[in-house]
Structure 1
Amino acid sequence: MSKIDFIKDLSNFLKARFPYIYINTYEEERVIKEIENVCNREELIKTPRRVYEWSITSGFYNNNRVVDGSVNTPIKALEYIEGVSEPAVFILKDFHVNFGVQSKPINYEVVRKLRDMIIPLKHNPKPKNIIFVSPVTVLPDELQKDITFLDFDLPTKEDITDLLDDMIAINSSSGRIRININQQEKEQLVKAALGLTFQEAENAFARALVKDGVMDINDVQVILKEKSQVIKKTGILEYINTNLNMNDVGGLENIKRWLRKRNKSWLDSAKKYSLSPPKGVLITGIPGCGKSLIAKAVSSMWQLPLLRLDMGKIYNGLLGSSEENIRRAIKTAEAVAPSILWVDEIEKGLSNSGSGDSGTSSRIFGTFLTWMQEKTKPVFVVSTANNIDKLPPELLRKGRFDEIFFTDLPTLSERKAIFKVHMKKRLKNPQILGGFQITDDVITDLAQKTEGFVGAEIENIVITALYEAFFEDRCIDLNDFYKSILNTVPLSVTQAEQIKAIRDWANVRAVAATPKEDRSDYKVIDKVIPEKKPTDDDISSNRGGRTIDF
Structure 2
Amino acid sequence: MPNGAETKTRVESYLLARIPFVSVRTVERGRVLDLLGELARDKQLDILLHTLSQGLRDLRTKQVVFDDKSLLGALDLAGEWFQSRANLTIVFTDVQHLSDDNDISRRFADLAALAEEHGGCIVIITSDPVWNMLQRMGMSVRLDLPDFDEMLQAVHEFLRPYATDIRIEWGPAEFEQAASILAGVTKTEALNILATFVVKKAVTKEDLVELSRAKDSIFSELSGIERVTLRPGDNQVGGLSGLRQWLDRKRPLLTMDLRDRGMRPPRGVLLVGVPGCGKSLSAKTIASDWQLPLYRLDIGSVLGAYVGQSENRLRDALATADTVAPCVLWIDEIEKGLAGSGTDSTGVTTRLVGQFLYWLQESRARVFVVATANDVRTLPQELLRSGRFDDMFFVDLPEPDERREIIGIYLRRYLHVPVPDNIVDELVRLSEGFAGSDIEAAVAEIGHEALRVGDANVRLDYFLDCFRNVVPLVRTTPEKIEEIRQLRDRAIPASGKARPAADRSTGTRRVVLG
TM-score clears 0.5: yes
Q: Which residue of 1 aligns with 2:330?
A: 342
Which residue identity does 2:26 align to in structure 1? N
Q: CA deviation at 1:256?
A: 0.9
Q: CA deviation at 1:355?
A: 7.6
The 1:452–1:96 alpha-carbon spacing in structure 2 relative to 1, beyond 3 Å, is farther
Indicate yes or no: 2:292 matched with 1:304. Answer: yes
CA contact under 8 A between 1:58 and 1:72: conserved in structure 2?
no
* Distance in 1 (alpha carbons) for counterparts of 2:353 and 2:48: 44
Please, which runs of 5 or more residues in structure 2 have no aligned partner?
Answer: none
Q: CA deviation at 1:360?
A: 4.9
Q: CA deviation at 1:393?
A: 1.7
1:39-58 correspondence to structure 2 within 5 Å:
49-58=45-54
Which residue identity does 1:485 align to in structure 2? F
Indicate yes or no: 2:447 matched with 1:453. Answer: no
Which residue identity does 1:308 align to in structure 2? R
* Distance in 2 (alpha carbons) for counterparts of 1:41 and 1:166: 21
Indicate yes or no: 2:207 matched with 1:207. Answer: no
Residue from 346, 351, 359 that aligns with 1:371 = 359
Indicate yes or no: 2:482 matched with 1:503. Answer: no
Q: CA deviation at 1:291?
A: 1.6
What secondary structure is seen at the aligned counterpart in 1 of 2:357? helix
* Distance in 1 (alpha carbons) for counterparts of 2:411 and 2:255: 37
Q: Which residue of 2 aligns with 1:108?
A: 102
Deviation string, structure 1 residues 362-409 (Cα, Å, up to 9, x no partner): 444322211211223333222222343432122112111111112122
1:333-412 correspondence to structure 2 within 5 Å:
333-350=321-338, 353=341, 359-412=347-400
What secondary structure is seen at the aligned counterpart in 2 of 1:262? helix
Q: CA deviation at 1:28?
A: 1.6
* Distance in 2 (alpha carbons) for counterparts of 1:18 and 1:453: 74
TM-score (norm 1): 0.78
What secondary structure is seen at the aligned counterpart in 2 of 1:4? helix
What secondary structure is seen at the aligned counterpart in 2 of 1:195? coil
Q: CA deviation at 1:218?
A: 0.9
CA contact under 8 A between 1:408 and 1:544: conserved in structure 2?
no
The 1:6–1:269 alpha-carbon spacing in structure 2 relative to 1, beyond 3 Å, is closer
Q: 5-14 or 227-236, which moves further after superposition?
A: 5-14
1:65-464 correspondence to structure 2 within 5 Å:
65-73=63-71, 76-85=73-82, 86-97=86-97, 99=99, 108-114=102-108, 123-134=116-127, 137=128, 150-174=141-165, 177-211=166-200, 213-242=201-230, 248-268=236-256, 276-311=264-299, 314-315=302-303, 322-350=310-338, 353=341, 359-427=347-415, 429=416, 433=417, 437-464=418-445
Q: CA deviation at 1:460?
A: 1.6
CA contact under 8 A between 2:112 and 2:122: conserved in structure 1?
no
The 1:206–1:241 alpha-carbon spacing in structure 2 relative to 1, beyond 3 Å, is farther
Q: Percent identical across equivalent pairs?
A: 30
Q: CA deviation at 1:29?
A: 1.1
Q: CA deviation at 1:226?
A: 0.8
Q: CA deviation at 1:244?
A: 5.8
Q: Which residue of 2 aligns with 1:29?
A: 30
Q: CA deviation at 1:113?
A: 3.9
Which residue identity does 1:87 align to in structure 2? N
CA contact under 8 A between 1:515 and 1:549: conserved in structure 2?
yes
Q: CA deviation at 1:419?
A: 0.8
Which residue identity does 2:93 align to in structure 1? K
Indicate yes or no: 2:451 matched with 1:470. Answer: yes
The 1:112–1:170 alpha-carbon spacing in structure 2 relative to 1, beyond 3 Å, is closer
CA contact under 8 A between 2:97 and 2:104: conserved in structure 1?
no
Q: 368-377 or 261-270, which moves further after superposition?
A: 261-270
* Distance in 2 (alpha carbons) for counterparts of 1:484 and 1:495: 21
Q: Which residue of 2 aligns with 1:548?
A: 511
CA contact under 8 A between 2:18 and 2:87: conserved in structure 1?
no
Q: CA deviation at 1:323?
A: 4.0
Deviation string, structure 1 residues 494-535 (Cα, Å, up to 9, x no partner): 443333332223423x22212126x56xxxxxxxxxxxxxxx
The 1:108–1:260 alpha-carbon spacing in structure 2 relative to 1, beyond 3 Å, is same
* Distance in 2 (alpha carbons) for counterparts of 1:314 and 1:147: 39
What secondary structure is seen at the aligned counterpart in 1 of 2:8? helix
Please, which runs of 5 or more residues in structure 1 have no aligned partner?
Answer: 43-47, 100-105, 521-535
Residue from 16, 38, 60 that aligns with 2:56 = 60
TM-score (norm 2): 0.83
Q: 266-275 or 287-296, which moves further after superposition?
A: 266-275
CA contact under 8 A between 1:412 and 1:448: conserved in structure 2?
yes
